[in-house]
Structures are given as C-alpha cells and as structure tokens.
Chains A and B, each alone.
Chain A
C-alpha cells in the first residue's frame, strides 16, 4: 500500500504531485496527441464529440457538482454558445466569435442565475428548467437573427490561413480547449473560490458564517459554468455545421446531467468518462440491435430507454459513477490483497437534509 510522505504545503497544490502521476499523464498526453494518426476517421469524429461533451460537462460540474446548484436547463447555454458563434461568424473571424460565444453564454448564465439566487434545491432546479424553456422559445422566435426553425448553416473554422476542414484539425482545437477548461477547473478547485463553491453546496449557513458572499459566488459559478458550456456549444456548431432549435432540447440537458453523474459527481475526470459513455452508448446499441428480436430493434424509443436504464442502474448501484469505479480499481491494486468490497463506503445520512 502506498504511503505518501509530504514535506511541503506545496505538495497539495501541485496538479501532478507524484512522479508516477506525471508518468501516466505524460503517456496520456502522447496518446491524445497521436489520436488522429492512430484512430480511424469515424472514431476521430466521435472523439471530437467526446471532447465537446466533456467541456460542457466541466461547465455543468462546476455548477451542479461543486456549487450544488442543480441545473436542469444547461442545454440553453449550449444553444446560446452555438447560435452566437453561428451568427457572429457571418461578419467576424472565429478568433473573435469564439470568445464572444463564451461571454454571451456567461451573460445568459447570470440572467438565469439571478432569479435562482434566492432559490435552493428544488425551486432552483425548476427555475433553471423554466429559464431554459424561455431561452429555447426566444431562440426559436427571434427569426431575424436565428432563422427560427429553419436553422443556420455554419462554415468551417478559419484560423488565419488555416481552415479546419477535417475532423483531425478540429480535434486538436477541441483538445486544446478541453485541456484549458480542465486546467481552469483544477485551478478554481485549489483556490479559495473553489472551496467556497463547495461550501455553498454543503451548508449555505456555514458558508455565510465564514464570510462567503453567497450571491457573488453563485453568480460567478453560473457565469463560468455557462461560459464553458457555451464554448462547447460553439465548437459543436462547427462540428455539425448546421444548427436548429430542435438540437437543444430538454433531452440535451438530461444528457449533460448523465455525463456528470455517470462520470462521477465531484470529479472533473469523471466528465471525460461520462462523455465517452454518452458517445459510445449509441454505437453499442447499434451493434446490439443485430442481436435483438426484430420488434425491439426497430423501436425508436430503444436508445432513450437504454440511456435511462443505465442512468438508473448507476444511481442505484454505482452512485460514484465511472470515476468511482476507476478509484475502486486503483484501490484494489494498491491494497492488494487486503481490498474489501466496502472499502470505499461512506456514511449515509437519514436526518432531514440540509443539502437543499
């Protein structure tokens, strides 16, 4: 079993404190950089989507997982980012439109956050749901800008002289943004702001008693969360190259929640696992269809049913998500042969919740 001997406070602040962390992450970095060479083109396209969902997931994780503000309407921010970049790029280059998409999404995030400030728990969840319906309706109706139900076609990204006309080139951009988003998340989490967010999740009264300004921190969380998801939406618009209101429905909000839950609430890594899960699942279903009785295989509802069942399965049996499973595996190997089935179990509380 590994024993860590810390000799300075700096240790706890470093992103990769142990030499073996640096080794494995280094290996991961090499693999990620070589992916376009190693993966067949179809899978590369899927990898781009994984990156996009992971970035959106980071955003939602900051708000829901860390600050405890459940958002059932994150699809709205995704849509705002996608539409902002699609509309602005008719007149300005990507390097301006992209950050603008993030800023616009952040602004909408603050607008959504404001009524949500005084709300907690369920009121908050419903408030975010209501806000996202309103945003969708506005997008659908504001036809002069968004072309309503007809949608907008989106051109390829131009960075100076380079046109990102293949999945491989888009992949590197998405990878860069994902790494930056991840780094941003880790920075926040090791700073006072990050722990203030977690404090708000666990006990708002306790947080106030140490001087955390609830309103300010919640709004910052909403803004950052919406901005990240908006940037993901902007990248999505360029991957799919055509956006219309039907792509940004409640189902997308649920998918994002699935990403962070199945990935593992409370872990940024988890978002990546969750994104992989959500992109791979339809492929698995498609393959499995060949082995199913014909009646089942033809159903349009099959994919949603499988999603929902997986989510319920995880909620009931593996609430720590894929990240939790990953930790259990690591722990098994490090504790071998002393590992017990419940080594990672935590106390349950049956008292009337404070978490709302």
Chain B
C-alpha cells in the first residue's frame, strides 16, 4: 500500500493552474523525486501536502487517511515533515531551540505542567533533548548548537532546517530543493545524507530538485512535471531520456546540469 497517494489534485492562483489534475503515489521506503522547469508547480505540490493551500480538486491520502481534512499543524502530527525553499528557521533562536521545536508534535505535557514546570514537563524536555542530540550527532552540527540561527551561513541553515525536520521522527520527509545554494561538495554530502535518511532512519523521502546528479544518485523514482501536470514518471534514467521531458527543458540534450 502506498504511503502517500495523490489523486487528480489541482490548485490555481488567479487564472494560473499551478497543479493540474495530478496523480501519483509514493511507496514506503523510497526516495521519490519531483523535477521540472521553474514554475512547474513543484513547490505547490508540497504546499498542498502540507495543507498550506486547500485542494481545489482531487484527494490526497497519507497512510490511508484523507489529508484534506487536516489543519496545517496536524500534518506534522500525522508524521510528515518538510523543509522549505527559502528556509523557514526561527532566526532569533539558537540552533538547539530550533531543533527542540521540531519535537513539538511529541509533546505530552499539559499547559499547567509546563507553567509550573512539574516533573512531567521536565521529563518531556529531557526526552526531547536526547532525541535532538542524536540528530545533532547525525548531522555533525555540534559546534553550532548554541549559535543564533539567523547568524549562520546559508549552507548550515539548510542543514539545521533538515535537522528540525528529522527530529520529529517523521514517516515522510519533504525536501524542497535541498541542494540549492550549496557548493558541489556540500551537494555530495547531501547525497550521503539522503541515503542515510532512507537506509538508517527508515524515512520515506520526497524531494524537489534541480540538480540531476543528486536526483540520479539517490532516487528510486522520478516524477517530471510541467505546468502543473505530469510529463513522465519512472526511474531517473527513463525520465531523463523521455522526449517530452527533454522538450520541456527547452530542447537541451540532457535536462539540467549537475557537477561532473
């Protein structure tokens, strides 16, 4: 049974169809990449899954549950975590606080317990801290732990946002252009992380990407979209050689360009 399935979903902005009766599904344990020219509607797909925008048509289900009835914050509780194209970190807080916040959906302490900092609240915070430290170890960002998130470099901020998504222990991770703004070395590092996330942490990954080498290295399947509708769906090699996909990328011999 698929983890996430989209059935003829649509979204428009004014007169423009950002997503046009798109259907696909994502299997548990795979890395599912979405590619397409700019403005093709890729981030809108993520925004529909996160329930930041309402579905115009169609149905989205996650683990069998209809996502259409959920509030945006309930999507996280359902087990979906995401990163954003323009990094939505909490700039005034430290990296540690940003990551601790990623644990919010696991919070069981009541408001009263927190106001009085009863043992239940203390236990909660310490348990969250354990998990957060494990992720800090995984991503090797120990030396940024107490630094203010707004002061860090772009590449590190991307990693912190990834960390925030990971600490919530999601079943599905949505990565929006994880390699954009990263150097070729950092992008190589991202390849390893995505593999580790899939293999060691057992998280299913959906990824919007432009960097074809990253896409080819880690994806199980690739969905190519243009103007909100599906161009091709298959393995990376199949999609990259699909004539419709090539045409959409303005006739270049191979879609996009990656290092090497």
Contact = CB atoms under 8 A, between A and B. Distances in A.
Contacts of B150: 346-347, 349
Nearest to B82: A209
A193 B114 contact: yes
A191 interface: yes
Nearest to B164: A210
A271 interface: no
A216 to B, nearest CB: 9
A264 B71 CA distance: 35
Interface string A170-194: 0000000000000010011011111
Contact of B114 (A188, A203, A213, A354): A188
Given A208-B76, A211-B76, A190 B104 contact: no
Of A10, A13, A199, A201, most buried by chain B (CB within 10 Å of CB) is: A199
A212 interface: yes
Contacts of B100: 192, 195
B84 interface: yes
Contacts of A193: 111, 114-115
Contacts of B52: 205, 208
B159 interface: no
A12 B122 CA distance: 11
Contacts of B102: 210
Interface centre among B50, B90, B116, B148 (most CB of A within 10 A): B90
Given A187-B117, A210-B81, A203 B90 contact: yes
Interface stretch (B10-18, B125-133, B182-190, B207-215): B125-133
Interface residues of A, number: 36
Contact of A13 (B116, B125, B148): B125
Contact of A198 (B73, B92, B126, B168): B92
Nearest to B96: A12
A192 B128 contact: yes
B91 A202 contact: yes
Contact of A191 (B88, B90, B91, B125): B125
A12 B128 CA distance: 13
B101 A196 contact: yes
B254 interface: no
A210 B76 CA distance: 5
B84 A206 contact: yes
Contacts of B125: 13, 190-192
A347 B148 CA distance: 10
Nearest to B161: A206
Given A13-B125, A190-B125, A203 B88 contact: yes
A205 B86 CA distance: 11
A207 to B, nearest CB: 8
A56 B130 CA distance: 36
B26 to A, nearest CB: 18
A329 B148 CA distance: 21
Contacts of A354: 88
A213 to B, nearest CB: 5
A266 interface: yes
A9 interface: yes
A206 B90 contact: yes
Contacts of B148: 346
A268 to B, nearest CB: 14
A191 B109 contact: yes
A220 interface: yes
Contacts of B164: 210
A10 B126 CA distance: 7
27 contacts: A9-B129, A9-B133, A184-B115, A191-B124, A192-B103, A192-B107, A192-B114, A193-B111, A194-B114, A196-B104, A198-B90, A199-B90, A199-B104, A201-B92, A202-B92, A203-B89, A203-B91, A208-B52, A209-B72, A209-B75, A209-B84, A210-B105, A211-B73, A213-B73, A347-B151, A349-B91, A349-B150
Q: Which 8 interchain pairs have the tightest Cβ spacing?
A: A211-B76, A211-B105, A206-B88, A191-B114, A202-B90, A187-B117, A208-B72, A192-B107
Given A190-B117, A191-B117, A209-B72, 12 more contacts: A13-B125, A192-B107, A195-B93, A198-B90, A198-B93, A202-B89, A202-B90, A202-B91, A208-B76, A210-B76, A211-B168, A346-B148
